[in-house]
Structure 1
Amino acid sequence: MTEKKVVIFIVEGPSDEAALGTIMKEYFASNEVQFVVVHGDITLKDYVSADNIIKKIKSQIEAVKNKYPYQWGDFIRIVHIVDMDGVYIPDEAVRAADVEAVRYFEDHIEAKNVLEIRARNKRKGEILYKLRTTGKIRGIPYQIYFNSCNLEHVLYGELKDFTDEEKEIRSDNFADLYEGRAEAFIEFISGLAVAVPGTYKDTWNYIEKNCNSLNRHSNMHLLFEQNGASSQLTAAAP
């Protein structure tokens, strides 16, 4: 077993790790921090369902365990960060349009195949509910935190389809901005411009309503609070 305990971060892409990695390693400096980059949204993979998602998460942790190697007892926390992608919006807010890729706006989604996106949202919503109500995976505390509509929207304040190159540049600049300044990042992510007030459960209940999963919201501030379970914020949700 390692001398330090291990905090696992599951993220969608390398730009997520680039933007958040140094911040998390500074904040959790008394532990080891390992990032698992899924290269996509694990909740949208063809082979994933609400029935097997926990098994798939376990396999991600198993890969880290075998790589270094760790023992299961070395892991003390699993932090999963996911984009919302408008998953909870009403079906009528998914509109048909002659577009190559899905386009996201703060009050609707445009897509060539409306039924496909509606089905995607339903399946992803079921998987997210399973994950947010799980609490532990193989005895390790697990919580999933959201960014809406996506991480770039929350961190940079723009809702657009960034290219991989743009994501890389933005994430590197963001990491440079907060290098050695984890507390400044916590202040930013806890601000009412993005943070949804309330408990972990409250924030998920909020993001499920109306078009909130397209608006600029996050509950990542909760991961810095004791047990990641409650919030100091008391103002109305933005």
Structure 2
Amino acid sequence: MSEKKVVIFIVEGPSDEAALGTIMKEYFSSNEVQFIVVHGDITLKDCVSSATILKKINERIEGVKSRYRYSQDDFIKIIHIVDTDGVYIADTDIVETDVEEIQYYEDHIDAKCANIIAERNKRKGGILYKLRKTGKINGIPYQIYFNSCNLEHVLYGELKDYSDEEKQILSDDFADRYDGKVGEFIEFILSPNIAVQGTYQKTWDYIEKELNSLKRHTNMHLIFG
């Protein structure tokens, strides 16, 4: 059994951990923090569905448990951080156009095949609803927090298609800026121009409306509440 209790963070990519890792470890310094990097969007990987998503997440938790020889009682919280990727917008706001990769804007999405993105949104939206209504996974308290349209949009203030290299540079700079300054990060993430106000479920209700899942919003501040 670990001497400290374990807080698990689930994030999409290495740059997410790079940007937030030191901040979260400082804030949860009385606990042991472990990051699970999915290397993609777990809500869209491996043909996952609303029926199988909890099993997929639990498999990731079991991997950490086995690797570090934790017991079930060592885990006190799972914090899952996801990008919204405009998942809740109307199908009419997905514009079919000649682009190689999907492009996000604050009022629409450009895509080569609008129907594929609409279907993706429907599938991911259903999975996110399942997750935000899930309070525990295998007995461990669980909550999922969003960044809209994505983490880079929230942290760096620009909605663009960053390369992996650009993400890594930005995340390293961001981590350096807030190293040892978790209070300043909380102040930043509480800023009214990005923080969605209200309870956990109310923030999710908000992000599901209209074009909100493309605009610069987050409820990560609730992690520190």
Q: TM-score, length-normalised on structure 2?
A: 0.99
1:14 aligns with 2:9: no
Matches of 1:88 and 1:130, distance apart in 2: 14
Question: C-alpha deviations, 1:102-127, integer Å up to 9, x for none?
Answer: 00000000000100000000000000
Which residue is equivalent to 2:35?
35
Which runs of structure 2 are paired with 1:124-203 in the superposition (5 Å)? Answer: 124-203=124-203
Matches of 1:193 and 1:69, distance apart in 2: 42
Question: C-alpha deviations, 1:29-88, integer Å up to 9, x for none?
Answer: 000000000000000114210000000000010000011110111000000000000000
Corresponding residue SS for 1:124: helix
Which runs of structure 2 are paired with 1:13-162 in the superposition (5 Å)? Answer: 13-162=13-162
Q: How far apart are residue 192 of structure 1 and its match?
A: 0.3
Matches of 1:82 and 1:177, distance apart in 2: 22
Aligned length: 225
Matches of 2:139 and 2:69, distance apart in 1: 19
Instruction: Give, as a single letter, the amino acid of the residue that structure 2 aligns with 1:84.
Output: T
Which residue is equivalent to 1:229?
none
Matches of 1:46 and 1:136, distance apart in 2: 22
Q: How far apart are residue 138 of structure 1 and its match?
A: 1.0
Matches of 1:168 and 1:51, distance apart in 2: 34
Instruction: Give, as a single letter, the amino acid of the residue that structure 2 aligns with 1:146.
Output: F
Q: Which runs of 5+ in 2 are unaligned?
A: none
Aligned CA RMSD, in angstroms, stands at: 0.5
Q: How far apart are residue 94 of structure 1 and its match?
A: 0.4
* Aligned residues with identical type, % of pairs: 70
Question: C-alpha deviations, 1:132-183, integer Å up to 9, x for none?
Answer: 0011111111000000000000000000000000000000000000000001
